Structure 1
Amino acid sequence: MSLTDWIPEPLHSPGPWDLAYWQWIAIALLLVIAVVFARIARWLFSWGLKKVVHRTVTTFDDDLVDRLGGPLRLLGTVGLFRLGMPLLELPAERAQTITNILLAVLAFGIVWGLLRAIDVIIGHASKAAWVATRPTSRSLLSLVGRIMKVVVVVIAIISALGTMGLPVGSLLAGLGIGGIALAFGAQKTVENLFGAVALGVDQPLREGDFVKVEDSVLGTVEAIGLRSTRVRTLDRTVVTLPNGRISEMRIETFAARDRIRFATTIGLVYGTTAAQMRQVLEGIERLLREHPKQFDSTEITVRFLAFGQSSLDVEVISMFATSEISEFRAIRQELLLGIMDVVEKAGSSFAFPTRTVHLASLPAKAA
């Protein structure tokens, strides 16, 4: 006994699309049943899967299971509807059409799931520790995510067109030619894009770094975009440099240093005695060694350097444990004032450029 034997006679009348009215009612009921059972099956599947993923340390699999809920429900609905289709006793031609529609919905569900999986992957990659120290990588990850989504959608569209019987080979050839033309037209844009990738991977500079680019730009990096990098100069102007160009330039990053060198040369007057010079050298060296920010006492250099044109030159070099330029400026000021005290206590003084002119009198001419 078939299902049609239980159907009232009026519902056997043909309706739209050459299907009986009972078949249309059965399609609607089957769709509702498939949606309900798909929700239940998805809940049971997720519940069992979460029991497993909760045991892992990472939250990636938990987020992936949550984000794939919608696509899984859709795929379950399609599968259950396809299993119940034989009960509808559809004509072969109509059954094939509905099967093609189900395959299209199935493909949409798969693409939907892949797009959500890409979001989860990029989202977790953006929270990684190595990205926190590389702000540029966030922009690159976002770009990579968009490219992956475009690739998935393009592959899905080409597959759908091929299923519909369209000449996919000719379409791919046209896309290839168009891609070459686009590459020539957007050469600078592509160059800057690859420059951004190079800056993100090599990390010669980061947002917030105080840098010197070649000998022309000195300032703080405000933003590193996909096309250009903006640097705020000391005059508060903004210099925009294309990434393709900046990746090939010489970049000096001051933020990468772990200590700062204090180096100066002081000149004492030529009236300074040897005893006073030794007292000055000992006093300056003691000043440097006793400073709380002194990095390494073995790197202190305080030496009588040379007999200058108008001064006795003393070389002073030392390293201090700071990477902040504002803090170093305060340290430098403190040291220079301390050196002045040392020189004054030694009874010497600082020299300044002088020139001695000897006037020789000419012998008187004979009368």
Structure 2
Amino acid sequence: MTSWYGIAKGAADAATPGLQGIDGASIMPAIQEIFSWVRTGSSEIFLLAGIAFLVFLALVAIKSWVVGLLRRLEHRARWIETTRLAISRTSLAVLLLASFTIVINGAAPPAILAQTFRLLFTIVMVLQAAAWAQTILVGLLEIKGAQAEDASALNLFRSLLTGIIWTIAILTLLANLGVNITGLIAGLGIGGIAIGFAAQGILGDLFAAFAILLDKPFKRGDTITYEPGQLGRVEEIGVKSTRLRALNGELVVVPNARLLSASLANFAEFERRRVVQPFGVIYETSPELLERIPKEIEAIVGTVPRASFDRCHFVNFGAYSLDFELVFFVESPELVEMLTARQQVLLGIVRRFADLGISFAYPVQVEMVAGPDGKVIDPRAADLGGGATALAGARQRP
């Protein structure tokens, strides 16, 4: 029949590094040392227990005070709320073991008792550190992804991050318990490399989705250029691809990695729209009217809601027109509002030019001919006189 001594010896042989210095032959003397310490130092033990309990109460009070302070400040920033949640999830077991470990380390108890407390404190602290890391990192991820309408990517990254944190925590815990994890880490590394090579396209899109979630170059509802000359509205940001609704109405599915590597233009980030409108008037316009045109147009732009005048200048002598350039802003990011404001400005210009007798230029070609005397004859003249007769005579010559 197996004796209690054999059980104790087996447990000691499988002990962790903190207990590896105690073999089966010394376990019973160690236990006897503990009993002897309890019998002879009961007053010291009660004193240590009281001090440890007071330290525990102080730590609990400090925790409650910090949590209350952060709760009053958490409306200022989301990271304060995340920090409060992490501190509030501090286990009472951690505080209790920390209190007793602090006191015991200064009281020279039996070696096996001190090592046992250190071992328990290490186990609990590793688990508590993993809980803190999960709360803080997942909280920061949720802060960055607060405006992400598609929750599938956020949920996936939350699960991946949680899995990574607890895997590291378990490996750390096994290493502290004396388990050789070198082979396990090597196996995980080789497996990870093999999976990475086999699914590098999928993983590339996955990490691109993670970058889109955190960096937010665009979000659902934004209108972006995803290729040169290709415009579309973002309908869904998925784990592997992003779905865009093109202007023609078709649904375009673009891999996240390809979309992230392209140069994007996000039209949703407009605060206001700039309108550049060239126009031309005929060469017969008088200098007085040409000088008056910029002031007249500035007044027209000033009557249009949400439109602000920038400049209007006579910029060029064109092939068939005197060219002007008008620039104004529409204080709205919406395309339809900009088009409506531009329409009102253009209609105002047409009406005002009609009142002033200013004609818009359009492509025309005028041929000037000469009579027998070499003088140029303008065919647009209403009364050509002798020049026309001379021209007619010239045309009748054989």
TM-score between both structures, scaled by the size of structure 1:
0.64
Counterpart position of 2:185 = 172
Counterpart position of 2:140 = 125
How has the CA–CA distance of structure 1 residues 123 and 43 changed in structure 2, closer, same or farther, with 3 Å as cutoff? farther
How has the CA–CA distance of structure 1 residues 76 and 238 changed in structure 2, closer, same or farther, with 3 Å as cutoff? farther
Asked if 1:215 is matched to 2:228, the reply is yes
Query: 1:75 and 1:274 mapped to 2: Cα distance?
Result: 89
Q: Please give the secondary structure, in 1, of the residue aligned with 2:351.
A: helix
Q: Please give the secondary structure, in 2, of the residue aligned with 1:188.
A: helix
Asked if 1:275 is matched to 2:258, the reply is no
Matched to 1:350, the amino acid is F
How has the CA–CA distance of structure 1 residues 50 and 355 changed in structure 2, closer, same or farther, with 3 Å as cutoff? same
Matched to 1:50, the amino acid is S
How has the CA–CA distance of structure 1 residues 261 and 355 changed in structure 2, closer, same or farther, with 3 Å as cutoff? same
How has the CA–CA distance of structure 1 residues 76 and 140 changed in structure 2, closer, same or farther, with 3 Å as cutoff? farther
Counterpart position of 2:240 = 227
Q: Please give the secondary structure, in 2, of the residue aligned with 1:352.
A: coil
The structural deviation recorded for 1:221 is 2.3
Counterpart position of 2:358 = 348
Query: 2:170 and 2:138 mapped to 1: Cα distance?
Result: 26
How has the CA–CA distance of structure 1 residues 141 and 72 changed in structure 2, closer, same or farther, with 3 Å as cutoff? farther
Contact 1:221 1:231 in 2 (8 A): yes
Query: 1:168 and 1:222 mapped to 2: Cα distance?
Result: 46
The structural deviation recorded for 1:244 is 1.6
Matched to 1:275, the amino acid is E
The structural deviation recorded for 1:331 is 1.0
Q: Please give the secondary structure, in 2, of the residue aligned with 1:55.
A: helix
How has the CA–CA distance of structure 1 residues 156 and 194 changed in structure 2, closer, same or farther, with 3 Å as cutoff? closer
Task: Choose 163-172 or 204-213, whichever is displaced more.
Answer: 163-172
Matched to 1:54, the amino acid is G
Contact 1:46 1:65 in 2 (8 A): no
Counterpart position of 2:319 = 308
The structural deviation recorded for 1:335 is 0.6
Contact 2:232 2:245 in 1 (8 A): yes
How has the CA–CA distance of structure 1 residues 61 and 118 changed in structure 2, closer, same or farther, with 3 Å as cutoff? same
Query: 2:146 and 2:85 mapped to 1: Cα distance?
Result: 24
Contact 2:171 2:181 in 1 (8 A): yes
Counterpart position of 1:328 = 338
Contact 2:305 2:341 in 1 (8 A): no
Contact 2:221 2:234 in 1 (8 A): yes
Q: In the TM superposition, what whole-angstrom CA distance separates every residue of 1:15-59 from its partner, at most 9, and x where no partner exists?
A: xxx9xxxxxxxxxxxxxxxxxxxxxxx999757632442133344
Asked if 1:286 is matched to 2:299, the reply is yes
Structure 2 segments unaligned to the other structure (5+ residues): 8-55, 74-79, 101-115, 369-378, 380-390
Residue among 48, 57, 68 paired with 1:54? 68
Query: 2:84 and 2:173 mapped to 1: Cα distance?
Result: 32
Contact 2:134 2:162 in 1 (8 A): no
Contact 2:277 2:326 in 1 (8 A): yes
Residue among 344, 349, 372 paired with 1:339? 349
TM-score between both structures, scaled by the size of structure 2:
0.60
Q: Please give the secondary structure, in 2, of the residue aligned with 1:300.
A: strand
Query: 1:321 and 1:203 mapped to 2: Cα distance?
Result: 24
Asked if 1:64 is matched to 2:77, the reply is no
Contact 1:50 1:62 in 2 (8 A): no
Contact 1:306 1:314 in 2 (8 A): no
Contact 2:226 2:264 in 1 (8 A): yes
Q: In the TM superposition, what whole-angstrom CA distance separates every residue of 1:83-121 from its partner, at most 9, and x where no partner exists?
A: xxxxxxxxxxxxxxxx9xxx89x95x6676455434532
The structural deviation recorded for 1:253 is 1.9
Asked if 1:318 is matched to 2:333, the reply is no
Structure 1 segments unaligned to the other structure (5+ residues): 1-13, 19-41, 81-98
Asked if 1:195 is matched to 2:208, the reply is yes
Which protein is bigger by CA-based radius of gyration?
A: 2
Query: 2:169 and 2:142 mapped to 1: Cα distance?
Result: 29
Matched to 2:199, the amino acid is A
Q: In the TM superposition, what whole-angstrom CA distance separates every residue of 1:260-315 from its partner, at most 9, and x where no partner exists?
A: 111112233444333343343331122234545344x5x31232532333x33322
Contact 1:285 1:302 in 2 (8 A): no
Query: 2:340 and 2:185 mapped to 1: Cα distance?
Result: 65
- May I ask how many residue pairs the two structures share in their alignment? 309
